Each structure stands twice: as structure tokens, then as C-alpha cells.
Structure 1
Amino acid sequence: MAETGKRDERHGSHTETGICVHSLPPGNMQMQPLRFLQHCGSCNRALGHEADIYIYKGESAFCSTECREKGMMIDHARRNPS
């Protein structure tokens, strides 16, 4: 076991008070983007890397506040049918 408070760069982990906490993988490993961040949940427009993304409940991404509001209204209608 590594000494308390030492970082092990080979495994991307850090031990502190006997607990090993894993961090992100080394830079040579590619991370796949979360699929819900690729397209707007309302209009299906592609979401760019430089554009603002509006999130609702951590599971839906939208290209604008208008699309997010529309998604919120649809979600509310599904949860509270008349």
C-alpha cells in the first residue's frame, strides 16, 4: 500500500488514510462522451463542444432555454396526466 497522501501516477489513484480513491484514467485512454450530450432532447439539433448546453434533471440536454422549457413541460405532463 502506498504511503498516506501519496499519489500513484501509474494507476491514477490517490491513497489517503488507507482509502484508495480512483480518478480519471491516464491521458492515453479515450473517454466516450455521454450520449445524451450529443443531441438536443427537444429539437434533435447536434450539440457542439463550444455551445452552451442546458441540462434538465441531469439526464436531458438541450440547445436552448426554449427547448429545455419545452422538455420540462413534456416531462411534467407525463408525470401528471390529467
Structure 2
Amino acid sequence: MIPRAPSLFHIEDGVAAAKPMPDGVSGELVGLRLIIQPSTPRQRPPMAVLRRSAVRPSPSPAMTSASGCLQLRDEGFMGLGFLKCCYCCHKKLDADMDVFVYKGEQAFCSAECRSQEMAREERREIEMLVRRRREAFHSRRAAPPPKIGGGSTDRQARLQIAAW
């Protein structure tokens, strides 16, 4: 039989008796156990929620638009500027609000705004795919048919096809 290496998450029985415990603390030691639970197929991944209180605002120059949302003057610098207002409804995001983030640089005030943007993006992708397929179909139909037998006329091509 192959000897097993001691587990990091298992506490030996003799360790608890060797150390004296302060008053009010039981002598029973509790170790860590790994609990593995398979996720169900219906279970959705957790939404990305960013707590604004943990983020310091950047000291870059800003200007206020008509919606009350702060916008950065320097377009090249993204920084934390996307956390100023909701990407969907342009509502100003306060420091005490939960911010829902999608694709890393799109902040939303609620899960509803986030799901609306996701649905909008999905519709755009489907429309783009349909447009590409239509263009490919029309370009194939608009192209002249390939000539049979080099530079022959249509009558000669029909005769060649009929002879087969």
C-alpha cells in the first residue's frame, strides 16, 4: 500500500491536547474542509457588482453634461470615468450605490439596465449577421453566370448542355 501524504485540511488528534488553551476557549480544534458542489445547468453566473465605496475617484478634469453625468474631457484616458453614470439610462451613479459592470468598462445603475444593454447588443449582433447573409446572397445572385467553354456564346453553351 502506498503511504498517503498528510492533508493540509486535516488536523491530527494529538495537536489539540499538546497546546494549553486560554480560558473560555474550547479545546476542540476545527479544520478547514473543502466542499465541492456541482453547479446546476440553470444556475446563472454571479453578476459583477462593484461597490463604489472601495473606489477612489480620479482627480482628472471633468465637465458636467445636461444629464448630470460627469464626463471626462480627455477621451484617451478611460480610468474610472465609466463609473460616473449609467451606460443605459445616463443616471448619475452615487458612491453609495451598487454598480453593475458589463464588459469591463460599461457601468449600470441596476441589473435591469444591464440586461437591457445585453439584449440590445444581442439584437445588433443578429441584425449584423442577417445583413451579411443577405449581402452575400444578393452578391451571388447579381454576379453573371460562369461561361461554359471559354468565350462561347449563350447559344453554344445551351447546345453543349443539351448534348450531355
TM range (shorter): 0.5 to 0.7
1:57 aligned onto 2:103: yes
For 1:31, the aligned partner's letter is S
Q: Could you tell me how far 1:57 is from its partner in structure 2?
A: 0.9
Q: Of 73, 76, 80, which aligns to 2:122? A: 76
Structure 1 residues without counterparts, runs of 5 or longer: 1-29
Take 1:39 and 1:31, find their aligned partners in 2: how far apart are those partners? Answer: 14
Amino acid at match of 2:116: K
Kept in 1, the 8 Å contact 2:58–2:80? The answer is no
Amino acid at match of 2:58: M
The structure having more radius of gyration, on CA atoms, is 2
Q: Residue 41 of structure 1 aligns with which residue?
A: 87
Count of matched residue pairs: 53
- Structure 2: state its 5+ residue gaps: 1-56, 60-78, 131-164
Q: List, as ranges, runs of 4+ consecutive aligned residues in structure 1 with deviation greater than 2 Å.
A: 30-33
Q: What are the Cα deviations for residues 29-56 of structure 1, in whole angstroms up to 9, with x where unaligned?
A: x834512111101111001111000001
Higher helix share: 2
Relative contact order, CA 8 A, sep 6+: which one is greater?
Answer: 1
Matched letter for residue 58 of structure 1: G
The letter of the residue matching 1:69 is S
Higher strand share: 1
- TM-score, structure 1 as length reference: 0.56
Shift of residue 79, structure 1, vs aligned partner: 2.1
